[in-house]
Amino acid sequence: MGEVKMGENKFIICNHCKRFINDKNDLVVAYDFLVMNAYHSECFARRAKENFFLSKKPVNGLVSNIVTVLFGIAGLSGLFTDFYVFTVMAILQLSIRLYSWLKYESILED
**Which residues of this protein are in contact with Zn ion, per CB under 5 A?**
14, 16-17, 40, 43
| Percent of the chain as helix, strand, coil, to the nearest 5 | 55, 15, 35
**Residue 43 or 48: which CB sits closer to Zn ion?**
43
**Residue 17 or 107: which CB sits closer to Zn ion?**
17
Taking CB atoms, the residue at the shortest distance from Zn ion is 14
If residue 69 lies in a helix (H) or strand (E), which one and from where to where? helix 62-79
**Residue 45 or 63: which CB sits closer to Zn ion?**
45
